[in-house]
Copies of this chain bind each other. A is one copy, B any other.
Amino acid sequence: MAVAVITTMERMARWEPGARERLGAAALELYAARGFEQTTATDIAQSVGLTERTFFRYFADKREVLFGGQEVLQKIVVEAIASAPSESSTIETAMFALEALAEFFPDEQRAQSRLRQTVIVANPGLQERELLKLAALAQRIAGALVERGVVETHATLAAETGVAVFGVAFRQWISDEEARSFDEIQRDVFATLRLVTQA
C-alpha cells in the first residue's frame, strides 16, 4: 500500500505540468532575494509546492537553473553556421550564429534575464562560470567556422569578436529602460565594432 502511494506521488511529480518552468522562475526569485548560496533546493521546491526530489528531477544542481541552457545555445550556433550561405564571409557567418542566438532572447524573456543577471553579478563564482560559458561559446563558433574551411586564426578572431558583440548587446538589452529587441541592439553593436576596429 505504502509502495503504491509513493509510486503515485512520483508519477504526479514526474508529470507535473510546467514544473521545470515554475521551479526555474522560483529559483531565480529566491537567488535574487536571498543570495544564491543561501538558497537550498528544498527552499525552491517548497516555494512552488513541490519536493526537493522533484527539483532534482529537472535540475542536476542549483547552478543548472542558471546555466542549463548552455548546450542548447551551442547547438544553435553550430547549426546556424553550418547552414549559412556558402558565399558568406567569415564575420558574416559568425553574425548568422549571433542572429540565431538573438531568437533565444525574445522580449518576454527580458525580465527573467535581468533577474538572472542580478544573481550572477552578486556572486564571483557565478561570474566566473558565466565568463567560461561565453569562452566555450566562442570556441564552438570557431570550431564550426573551421569545419567550413575557414583558417583557424580567422575563425578564432571572428568567433571571439562575435561573442564580444553578443556580450555587449546582452548587457545593453537587459539594462534599465532599454526597449529595443535583442536583434536590433546586436546589429547596432556589430556596426559599432566595425567602426571601432577601423578607426
A residues near B, CB below 8 A? Answer: 89-92, 128, 131-132, 135, 153-154, 156-158, 160-161, 164-165, 167-168, 172, 189, 192-194, 196-199
Contact = CB atoms under 8 A, between A and B. Distances in A.
Contacts of A167: 156, 160
Question: 4 tightest CB-CB pairs across the interface, nearest first?
Answer: A89-B199, A160-B164, A131-B135, A197-B197
Given A132-B131, A157-B192, A91 B168 contact: no
Contacts of A158: 196-197
Chain A at the B interface: SS class: helix
Contact of A193 (B161, B165, B199): B161
Contact of A172 (B153, B161, B168): B153
A153 B168 contact: yes
B168 A156 contact: yes
